[in-house]
Chain A
Amino acid sequence: MRQAGKYSGFMMCGGIAGRTGPHSLPLARIKKIMKKSGEDVKMISGEAPIVFSKACELFIEELTRRSWATTLQGKRRTLHKDDVASAIVATDIFDFLVSMVSETASHSEDGTVPEEEETVGSS
């Protein structure tokens, strides 16, 4: 019967249990953001940032997926902020983000900012 060893098993490659491996979001940063969310956030259990690290991955993945769907509708290959904004507006659970994209839209009507088009493997 094959077993994952202590150092090569599931938990180790993801770098969880307090070790932020290359694929996890930094727990200390998450904790800082949590504390900043309200004056009265007092104590945070050790596990809460860990749940958030995974939750933020799921969130980013969902937001990206939905945004990309808008990009494809426009027959484009570059995901723009407008695509993110459309995804937010179209998704009920992202309602809390609507104010963010409308205010960033007003800031960045800045035609002089060139967009960098990245391809995988470029610098």
Chain B
Amino acid sequence: MDPVSGLDRFRSNNNKRQEKSTTASDPAQVTDANNPDAVNVNGGNNSEAAIPRLPVAACMVREQDQYMPIANVIRIMRRILPPHAKISDDAKETVQECVSEYISFITGEANERCQREQRKTVTAEDVLWAMSKLGFDNYIEPLSLFLSKYREAEGTERSSSLFAKCERGDGGMVEYAPVLGHYGPPGFGLAAQQPGMYKAGAMSGYYIGGAGGSGNEGGGAGSSSASQQRQGQSAMGGGFDPFAQFK
């Protein structure tokens, strides 16, 4: 890429964004001219590293801090697009800006709810609620699934010291679903449950082998674990019958 044209594009882009949120100072641009490394902004994967830092004044927010890294945004866009597709620079930037706006929009609504309920902390549930309220309900299912798996992994790590004392497994550190293995979504449901971690909403619909779980909604974590163990073993027998326990 021709460094001069790249520099021109960088300047005009920089101007465009600085008008929005920061006060541009000329020394930054002079610095750009003197620093050829700063030029190649849009071509490289790690474009963020090539953007020279603006002088940081007390009131100034660095552009990088307002947006998701453009490389990450582009990567996600490319997952959707066919291989031959091209993306214009202004489209990339627009999507990048829209993401930040999305986060602010949802957070604002979630925060309002917290304030109404006189809570100080915006939780994941608040975020999910806000998304549902603002029309993003088709995100709720994949996000709840994602969150459940995250919580399980976190619970798994934290309770590793418990499992170290178990007789089964090789010293306990490796296998967290030791008896029942995995069926359906990996890691789902049976290892290292902490009481109260699973809310009914998170459970619904995501247990393939977990019909016992939904059948035991009234039961505590302990009893549902026990019933799932029995059920798990019948599933391991090869015939997958979520209602085995009811026969």
CB pairs A–B below 8 angstroms (6 shown): A9-B187, A38-B108, A41-B111, A42-B120, A52-B127, A120-B78
Annotate A68-99 by CB proximity to B: 1 below 8 A, 0 otherwise.
10010000011111011100100011001100
Checking B16, B72, B123, B150 against A108 with a beta-carbon cut-off of 8 angstroms, the contacting residue is B16
A52→B143 CA distance, assembly (Å): 9
Q: How far is the CB of A64 from chain B (nearest CB, A)?
A: 4
Checking A11, A54, A114 against B143 with a beta-carbon cut-off of 8 angstroms, the contacting residue is A54
Question: How many chain-B residues does the 8 Å CB contact rule pick out?
Answer: 86
B94 contacts A56, CB within 8 Å? Answer: no
B86 contacts A55, CB within 8 Å? Answer: no
Using CB atoms, name the residue of chain A closest to B181: A1
Among all A-B residue pairs, the 7 with the closest Cβ atoms: A1-B181, A93-B135, A37-B104, A47-B124, A81-B90, A11-B153, A78-B86
Q: How far is the CB of A74 from chain B (nearest CB, A)?
A: 13
Given A44-B122, A79-B87, A92-B135, A58:B142 Cβ within 8 A? yes
Given A26-B69, A51-B147, A97:B98 Cβ within 8 A? yes
Residues of B within 8 Å of A41, CB to CB, are: 107, 111, 122
Annotate B163-180 by CB proximity to A: 1 below 8 A, 0 otherwise.
000000000011111000
A17 contacts B102, CB within 8 Å? Answer: no
A29 contacts B142, CB within 8 Å? Answer: no
B85 contacts A77, CB within 8 Å? Answer: yes
B residues near A, CB below 8 A? 1, 5, 8-9, 12-13, 16, 19, 42-44, 61, 65-69, 72-73, 75-81, 83-91, 93-95, 97-108, 110-111, 115, 120-124, 126-128, 131, 134-136, 139, 142-143, 146-147, 149-151, 153-154, 157, 173-177, 181-182, 186-187, 236
Residues of B within 8 Å of A47, CB to CB, are: 123-124, 147, 150-151
B147 contacts A50, CB within 8 Å? Answer: yes
Using CB atoms, name the residue of chain B closest to A65: B80
B142 contacts A61, CB within 8 Å? Answer: no
Residues of A within 8 Å of B83, CB to CB, are: 120
A29→B99 CA distance, assembly (Å): 12
Checking B8, B73, B103, B139 against A34 with a beta-carbon cut-off of 8 angstroms, the contacting residue is B103
Q: How far is the CB of A94 from chain B (nearest CB, A)?
A: 8
Residues of A within 8 Å of B72, CB to CB, are: 25-26
Annotate A25-57 by CB proximity to B: 1 below 8 A, 0 otherwise.
110011011101110111111011011101111
Residues of B within 8 Å of A80, CB to CB, are: 88, 90-91
Checking A29, A36, A78, A116 against B104 with a beta-carbon cut-off of 8 angstroms, the contacting residue is A36
Q: How far is the CB of A52 from chain B (nearest CB, A)?
A: 6
Using CB atoms, name the residue of chain B closest to A97: B98
